[in-house]
Structure 1
Amino acid sequence: MIQTTSLKQKAIQFFHILFPILVTQIALSAITFFDTNMSGKFGTADLAGVAIGTSLWIPIQTGLSGILMGITPIVSQLIGSKKEKDVAYQVTQGIWLSLIVSVIVLLIGSFALSPILNFMNLEPTVRDVAFRFLSAISFGIIPLFGYTVLRSCIDALGQTRVSMLITLIALPVNVGLNYLLIFGKFGFPRLGGVGAGVASAITYWVIFSVALLFIYRAEPFASLRIFRKFYFISLKSFKDLMKIGVPIGFSIFFETAVFSAVTLLMSRFDTVTIAAHQAAINFATTLYMIPLSICMSLTILVGFETGSGRQKDARQYAIMGIGLAAILSLATALLLFFAGYHVAGLYSDEPDVISLIQHFLIYAIFFQISDAIATPTQGALRGYKDVNPAFIICFIAYWVIGLPTGYVLATYTDLGAYGYWIGLITGLAIGAALLLTRLVKVQRRYATQADAQAHH
């Protein structure tokens, strides 16, 4: 990354970092899409089993990956303040932490998985697929969390195209292995939905190995001399990493888990309503990749400028990112409003399901406008290493306001299933307003500090 002086240079650098992140995020969500889709082609029980397994795994995976993503603002601020020689040490500590987190997940999973699935009262075949799918995927937990640390370091250096390349390698590997292992082609065992779990675990080992190769061999990583020297575990470094990472992880977890909670609460409605809700959420999640990618770009750029002490530039990037997300969300709102029927048709051929999905998609419009403000604002706050207030705001907005409001509206009014969506929209809108207020406050504080230093 380079220092920029004009808004045009900033826009070029911003898109140079944003575009590969967006492609990476879409490719990562495509992996989950293919797992579900290809399992569904094998059989209904396999589709249900993989869907249950995925909805248990995704909040845990994204939440814990969020903790390890704390390495991004640390490395980007080190690069901004010209302390490149400290990067190798921080990344090694990140890898140690990822290993400890992986072992804890595996230990808890081995004791808790059966009781959780038994509690869910599933059909025996569905429970069996979900259990074996999650057991298979667990073999890839260590490389997946290790890769999260390596990717955060790669992105923090502004080399987001490298992450994009690694993920684009992963997609055909995953789909190819799915084909071989789900359907038992070319003499491979016919594993059904469980094959998707095995395929994902192997894919995680592949991307971890490729990322290691890049970091060890390719520039600008090789000159940072990462993994050339052995560093013991440092509890102080863990503490620094956790101080930034844990609030990031929790705010991501609260956001993803609230959707899983709504899906579980929706189970009291009929099958058509659940299917339509799931389809609309799936499309909204795909659109969410846009503000999420802008959020990740802002963490890198705001962190780099803050580390360099250029507060005005950091503020300009924040305005640029949040403004772009808001404009794009209005464009996707028009798409959903005028082409909702065609979007719904991607998910079903049945007229009653299509009209219900279309109805849910109208709510998704308001949903993603709030997301477009809240998510990039969180990214900018992470760049300033200001993470605790955002985590508290997310918890209150989604779990104290959004979910209870949705429950009350769905249970005690004739809104039914739509009540949950209105609750989520309310929570997201309040969250967006509070996060923006916090960002303005943090920027003013940094500007005041910069002025004070300039006068000394």
Structure 2
Amino acid sequence: MEQTHGYRQKYKQFLIILIPILVTQLGLFAMNFFDVMMSGHVSASDLAGVAIGSSLWVPVFTGLSGILLAITPIVAQLIGSKEKKQVPFMVMQGIYVSVFVSILVVILGFISLDFLLGRMSLDPEVHRIAKEYLIALSYGIIPLFVYSVLRSFIDGLGHTRVSMFITLLSLPINVIFNYLLIFGKFGFPQLGGVGAGYATAITYWCITLISVYIIVKQVPFTQYKVFDKLQSVSFKAWKEILKIGVPIGFAIFFETSIFSAVTLLMSTFDTVTIASHQAALNFASFLYMIPLSISMALTIVIGFEVGAKRLKDAREYSILGVGVAVGLSAVLAAFIYLFRDQVAAIYTKDPAVLALTKQFLIYAIFFQLSDAIAAPIQGALRGYKDVNTTLVMALISYWVIGLPVGVVLATYTSLGAFGYWIGLIVGLAAGAIGLSSRLMIVQKQVRLELKKSAS
């Protein structure tokens, strides 16, 4: 990354960083997208089972991997402040944290999986598919979390095109193994939706091994010599990572887990409703990768500028990022409205599921506008290393406001399942308003602190 002057240069550098991140995020989410979509072409039970398994896994993964996102602002600020020698040490500590977190997830999953699925009034076949899908996917948890750290290191240096390259290499692997294991082609067992879990686990191993190879062999990563020395565990460094990462992770968890909570509550509806809800939500989540990518790009560029104490440039990047997100969200909203028939047909051929999915997609339009504001601002705040208030806002917006509104509307009005979606929209809007206020406060505080230190 380089210092920029004016919005034109910033826009150019921002796109250079953003576009590869966007391709990477779409690619990573495409694994889940193809899992759900391809399983839906086996049966409604496979679609519902994989979708429910994914809805339980995604908030766990995004929340805990959010902890590891701390490596991105740490690396970006170290580079901005010319402290490159500290980078390999912090990356290795991040890898140690990722392994610890992975083992913890597997243990907790082993203990709680039957309980969680048992609390849902699922058809026995849907229950079986969801459980076995998650077990299959668990074989790739350790490499996935390690990859999250390596990717944060790569992105923190501003080389987001490398992450894009890794994802583009791995995506065909996921699709191929989905095809082989879901449908039982070329002598492989026909596992249905469960096969998608094994295919995804294999893909997680691939992207991790590719990342290690690139960091060891390719310039400019070789200069950091990340794997040349086995660093001793530093709990002081763990504390620094967790101090930034835990609020990030929990904020993401509160946002993503609200969708899982809604899925749990909707388990009282029939299989058609569950499948339709999950198909529409899966597509809305796919589109969410755009504001999320803008958020991640803002963390990098703002972290770099804050590390170099160029606060005016950091503020200009935040304005630029939110503007780009809002513009794109308007385009996406129009796309969903105009092509909802075609989108629904991607997931299923079942007439009942198809009709209901189209109705859910109308509500997904309103997700786009709130996400376009909230997600980029979260990324900007992470660039300033301001994460604790975001955590509290996420908890209040989604769990104190959004979920209760959804429960009331779904239970006491004729909206039924759609009431939960309105609750989600209200929660997302509340989060967007709160985060906007927080960013203005933080920018003012940082500016005043810098003036005091200079005087």
Bin of the TM-score, shorter chain as denominator length: over 0.9
Amino acid at match of 1:19: I
Task: State the Cα distance separating 1:159 from its structure 2 match.
Answer: 0.6
Please list, as runs of the form range in 1=range in 2, the aligned pairs for 1:91-240 lying within 5 A after superposition: 91-240=91-240
Distance 2:8 2:28 in 1: 30
Deviations 1:43-79 (A, max 9, x none): 4443333223222211111111111111111110001
Distance 2:323 2:239 in 1: 34
Is the contact between residue 51 and residue 275 of structure 2 (CA under 8 Å) also seen in structure 1?
A: no
Structure 1 vs Structure 2 CA RMSD: 2.0
Alignment gaps of 5+ in structure 1: none
The answer to which of 375-384 and 403-412 deviates more is 403-412
Do structure 1's residue 396 and structure 2's residue 387 form an aligned pair? Answer: no
Task: State the Cα distance separating 1:365 from its structure 2 match.
Answer: 2.5
Please list, as runs of the form range in 1=range in 2, the aligned pairs for 1:65-80 lying within 5 A after superposition: 65-80=65-80
Task: State the Cα distance separating 1:182 from its structure 2 match.
Answer: 2.6
CA gap 1:117/1:351 in 2 versus in 1, 3 angstroms: closer
CA gap 1:101/1:126 in 2 versus in 1, 3 angstroms: same
Tell me which residue corresponds to 1:321: 321
Is the contact between residue 36 and residue 347 of structure 2 (CA under 8 Å) also seen in structure 1?
A: no
Amino acid at match of 1:225: K
Distance 2:122 2:108 in 1: 21
CA gap 1:356/1:292 in 2 versus in 1, 3 angstroms: same
CA gap 1:380/1:214 in 2 versus in 1, 3 angstroms: same
For normalisation by structure 1, the TM-score amounts to: 0.94
The answer to which of 106-115 and 385-394 deviates more is 106-115
Tell me which residue corresponds to 2:428: 428
Deviations 1:1-30 (A, max 9, x none): 111123211111100000011111111111
Please list, as runs of the form range in 1=range in 2, the aligned pairs for 1:342-361 lying within 5 A after superposition: 342-347=342-347, 356-361=356-361
The answer to which of 156-165 and 106-115 deviates more is 106-115
Please list, as runs of the form range in 1=range in 2, the aligned pairs for 1:237-256 lying within 5 A after superposition: 237-256=237-256
The answer to which of 160-169 and 176-185 deviates more is 176-185
Distance 1:367 1:329 in 2: 9
Amino acid at match of 1:18: L
Tell me which residue corresponds to 2:268: 268
Is the contact between residue 33 and residue 282 of structure 2 (CA under 8 Å) also seen in structure 1?
A: no
Is the contact between residue 80 and residue 307 of structure 2 (CA under 8 Å) also seen in structure 1?
A: yes
Q: Which secondary structure state, in structure 1, belongs to the residue aligned with residue 188 of structure 2?
A: coil
CA gap 1:264/1:298 in 2 versus in 1, 3 angstroms: same
CA gap 1:199/1:275 in 2 versus in 1, 3 angstroms: closer
Is the contact between residue 70 and residue 244 of structure 2 (CA under 8 Å) also seen in structure 1?
A: yes
The answer to which of 148-157 and 58-67 deviates more is 58-67
Task: State the Cα distance separating 1:130 from its structure 2 match.
Answer: 2.7
Tell me which residue corresponds to 2:366: 366
Task: State the Cα distance separating 1:356 from its structure 2 match.
Answer: 4.2
Deviations 1:88-119 (A, max 9, x none): 00000000001111111122222222333334
Is the contact between residue 70 and residue 241 of structure 2 (CA under 8 Å) also seen in structure 1?
A: yes
CA gap 1:326/1:107 in 2 versus in 1, 3 angstroms: same
Distance 1:47 1:179 in 2: 15
CA gap 1:279/1:43 in 2 versus in 1, 3 angstroms: closer
Tell me which residue corresponds to 1:299: 299
Amino acid at match of 1:105: V
Amino acid at match of 2:405: T
CA gap 1:280/1:131 in 2 versus in 1, 3 angstroms: closer
Task: State the Cα distance separating 1:225 from its structure 2 match.
Answer: 1.4
Distance 2:260 2:190 in 1: 30
Task: State the Cα distance separating 1:41 from its structure 2 match.
Answer: 3.1
Q: Which secondary structure state, in structure 2, belongs to the residue aligned with residue 279 of structure 1?
A: helix
Is the contact between residue 79 and residue 157 of structure 2 (CA under 8 Å) also seen in structure 1?
A: yes
For normalisation by structure 2, the TM-score amounts to: 0.94
Distance 1:127 1:377 in 2: 38
Amino acid at match of 2:51: A
Please list, as runs of the form range in 1=range in 2, the aligned pairs for 1:45-84 lying within 5 A after superposition: 45-84=45-84
Distance 1:302 1:247 in 2: 18
Q: Which secondary structure state, in structure 1, belongs to the residue aligned with residue 91 of structure 2?
A: helix
CA gap 1:205/1:361 in 2 versus in 1, 3 angstroms: closer
Distance 2:60 2:374 in 1: 21
Do structure 1's residue 289 and structure 2's residue 289 form an aligned pair? Answer: yes
Distance 2:215 2:425 in 1: 41
Tell me which residue corresponds to 1:3: 3
The answer to which of 346-355 and 206-215 deviates more is 346-355
Task: State the Cα distance separating 1:284 from its structure 2 match.
Answer: 1.7
CA gap 1:16/1:191 in 2 versus in 1, 3 angstroms: same
Deviations 1:286-342 (A, max 9, x none): 221111110000000000000011000000000000111111112223333444455
The answer to which of 410-419 and 304-313 deviates more is 410-419
Tell me which residue corresponds to 2:12: 12
Distance 2:348 2:200 in 1: 27
Task: State the Cα distance separating 1:358 from its structure 2 match.
Answer: 4.0
Distance 1:173 1:350 in 2: 28
Is the contact between residue 406 and residue 419 of structure 2 (CA under 8 Å) also seen in structure 1?
A: yes
Q: Which secondary structure state, in structure 1, belongs to the residue aligned with residue 41 of structure 2?
A: helix
Task: State the Cα distance separating 1:351 from its structure 2 match.
Answer: 6.7
Structure number with the bigger relative contact order (C-alpha 8 A, sep ≥ 6) is: 2
